Structure 1
Amino acid sequence: MQVTTKAIIFSSLKYGDTSLIVKAFTESDGLKSYLLKGVLSSKKGKLKAAYFLPLMQLEIVAVHKNKGTLESIREAKVTVPYKTVHTDIVKNSIVLFLAEMLGNSIQEGEQDEALFNYLEYALCCLDEFESNPNFHTLFLLNLTKYLGFYPDASFQDEPYFDLLEGSFCKKPSLNPLIQGENLECFKKLLGINFDAFPTVRMNKLQRQELLKNVILYFELHLHGFRKPKSLAVLNAVFE
């Protein structure tokens, strides 16, 4: 079946000398994988390799056979021409990290319009706003709303947050916990959006610890989740 849909690129992997295997989250069908034959050698075709950089926002004309095999893309055009995302070294590092996190977190399945709309909005914020070292952590925390395990913000006065239970608690358990100064940083990001960044203050060590806890939160709640290899690069950029 031929479909025309918006799509956000998660990854592209070179296949042979001239082709790419691309994973994209589509508005119409959720996560799909495509084989783009000859795209690296074609100069006059309707598909250009530059369209398939991480987190590019496209409109594609694709053929979805839905048989568990790689699909195909016939046409593609950029819907959101980024101004800074792929040219600002800090933002580009964030993009590579978030693309890997999304690829590790979202499974092939059915359409999820709310999740697609969130990704679309958040990536436009990343492009338009000044670089912020808390962006990716808030992005991931808010992403959990759509993945089904957003923290229960009730009882925030309690001294611990249980990462396995996803809630605040009065007494420590054997589960991984956020507590003390790290808990105060965690609470700063609960319930806010990207335009509230000027109100959030953390030092480098606090940001790194918070991000480490958020990644662990994903690991505890998503079966088969793999820690991102790009985390070390991201941390180096914010040194």
Structure 2
Amino acid sequence: MLQKTRGIALSYIRYRETSIIARVYTEEFGLQSYIVNSVRTAKSKNNRIALFQPLTLLEMVVYYKSDRDLTRLSEVKTNFPFQSLPFEVGKSTIAMFVTEMLNKVLKEETGSPTLFRFLVESVVFLEEAKVNYENFHLIFLLKLSFFLGFGPESAREFESQLRENSYPFLPDEEMDAALNTMLRQPFGTPIKLDRSARNELADALVTYYHIHIDSLGEVKSLPVLREVLG
């Protein structure tokens, strides 16, 4: 059955000679995998494979069957082509990290309109932001944790859970204030963190996710993130 849905591209792998299997988080059906034919050829129209670069916002018509793990796309386009996110080193590094985390933590094959809306708003902010996006990945992970069911209510709760799991996280007053601001304020709120503190908090947040998601595994983009944005 053909269905319309919006989606967010997460990743893809090569499939056969000219096709890919794209992993997409959709508004209607949650996490889905789609075969996309004939996108890895010189004759592919309008460089269609670019539609599946990380975090691209998609408008799709899909073949949907609830008992299928792998289906096909009928139509796909974006009404929000990126102008900065893939081309600015800081933003593209953040996108790489965020996409890796989403690939690891998004499991549900049912739609969640509130989660989807949060993801879209997050991507739009990152694409359009001119300033105050250097802490985006930290704020994103904190806010995402609530949709996943383990969001901390305060900096104190966050720190307490880390200590209970033997992680040596000892923030000062400035870090506490930054954490509470991230939890309560929207993206783009100015937050003062130096390079060292930003790295420390990124490590702590990934550890926090490890505590709650056993299958998280190694986050390979974290060292790159620390180097570029720390």
Superposed pair shares fold, TM > 0.5: yes
State the distance in 1 between where 2:121 and 2:219 align: 23
Instruction: Give the superposition deviation at 1:125.
Output: 0.5
CA distance in 2, matches of 1:174, 1:20: 40
Tell me if 1:179 matches 2:170: yes
Are 2:224 and 1:233 aligned?
A: yes
* Aligned partners of 1:163 and 1:178 also within 8 Å: no
Q: Could you report, residue by residue, the CA deviation over 1:92-132 in whole angstroms, capped at 9, with x for unpaired residues?
A: 11111111100001103211000000000011000111253
Gapped runs of 5+ residues in structure 2?
none
Q: Aligned-residue CA RMSD in angstroms?
A: 2.2
Q: Which amino acid aligns with 2:123?
A: L
Aligned residue among 170, 185, 191 for 1:192: 185
If the length of structure 1 is used for normalisation, what is the TM-score?
0.86
In structure 1, the partner of 2:142 is 141
Give the corresponding residue for 1:203: 194
- How far the C-alpha of 1:185 sits from its partner, in A, is 4.0
Identity of aligned residues (%): 29
* Pairing 1:121-136 to 2, within 5 Å after superposition: 121-130=121-130, 132-136=133-137
Q: CA deviation at 1:160?
A: 7.7
Q: Give the AA of the match of 1:127.
A: E
| Count of residue pairs brought into register by the alignment | 227
CA separation in 2, counterparts of 1:74 and 1:15? 17
Distance 2:179 2:168 in 1: 11
- The structure where helix makes up a greater share of residues is 2
- Given that 1:6 and 1:28 are in contact with CA atoms closer than 8 Å, whether structure 2 keeps it comes out as yes
Q: CA deviation at 1:139?
A: 0.8
Are 1:152 and 2:127 an aligned pair?
A: no
- Report the secondary structure of 2:77's partner residue: strand
d(CA) in 1 for partners of 2:158, 2:53: 40
